[in-house]
Amino acid sequence: MTAAVQAPLTFTAGCRIVLEENQRVLDAVDATQWDRAGVRILSARKVFAIGGGRSGLAVQMAAMRLMHLGLRVHVAGEVTAPAIGAGDVLIAVSGSGATTAVVDAADTARAVGASVIAVTTAPESELAHRAELTLLLAAADKQDHSGSRTRQYAGTLFEQAVLLAFDALFQSLWSADTQSAERLWERHANIG
């Protein structure tokens, strides 16, 4: 006997899954913690961002928006990133909270007096234990293939939620600022 072939989802059904799952994750965040992160980021001497793979891409997008606000922002590992130091903040993103490069960066940041803001699904992870502030996103870990938290592949929901949560944080920080969209646009990349 052969297994029944399941019809593929329509694009509309796929959109519904993505939107509903992200709404659920964002509705569950501790907004007070995100507000605290915003205050800490704004008061930092410099802001550094690190994450691996697609999580790294999502936090790079967050770094770009923070740069648009006029903050001194660097992506860890880029050749032009300076040393992190006291008064700086490291935004460290890892769904599992165990990504070696991210945890090591958190250790380095703490050793030199920088603050660590962890973004993870795992409140008891190595990364969370190293953070001054942990921002939890209740998305499935990329190795959770049970389908109980998400129907999407691997860490997709976490990566999407990182992007959306930081876009929401950017929006809140910008709304409290007096800079016009034109002023932010002046900082937008114009070469490359």
Question: pLDDT of 10-31, one tens digit each?
Answer: 999 999 999 999 999 999 999 9
50 closest CA partner among 82, 80, 21, 76 = 76
Instruction: Tell me the CA distances in angstroms from 136 to 79, 112, 161, one per residue in order.
Output: 30, 25, 10
Q: For a pLDDT cut of 90, what percent of the chain falls above it? A: 85
Q: Which CATH number fits domain 33-185: 3.20.190.10, 3.40.50.10490, 3.30.565.10, 3.40.1010.10?
A: 3.40.50.10490
> Distance between CA 83 and CA 105 in Å, rounded?
11
pLDDT tops 90 at residue 96: yes
Q: Which amino acid is at 75?
A: V
Average pLDDT over residues 83-112: 98
φ/ψ of 51, rounded to 5, equals: -170, 160
**Mean pLDDT to the nearest integer, 74-102:** 97
Q: Where are the domains of the chain?
A: 33-185
Residue 76: pLDDT over 70: yes
Helices (H), 28-119: 31-43, 53-68, 100-111
Question: Structure tokens of 3?
Answer: 């297994």
Question: Residue 126 — very low, low, confident or very high, per pLDDT cuts 50/70/90?
Answer: very high
* pTM of the predicted protein model: 0.93
Grade residue 148 by pLDDT with cuts at 50, 70 and 90: confident
Average pLDDT over the chain reads 94
Mean pLDDT of 73-93: 97
Confidence (pLDDT) at 127: 98
Q: What is the pLDDT of residues 174-184, one digit of tens each?
A: 999 889 999 99
Report helix, strand or coil for 19.
helix
Q: In the sheet that 47-51 helps form, which strands lie side by side, from edge to edge?
A: 73-75, 47-51, 89-93, 115-120, 133-136
Residue 127, CB-side half-sphere exposure with 13 Å CA sphere: 28
Residues tagged active-site: 159
Residue 136: closest CA among 123, 124, 148 = 123
Contact between 149 and 139 (Cβ < 8 Å): yes
pLDDT value for 162: 98
Q: Is the pLDDT of residue 100 over 60?
A: yes
Q: What is the pLDDT of residue 151?
A: 86
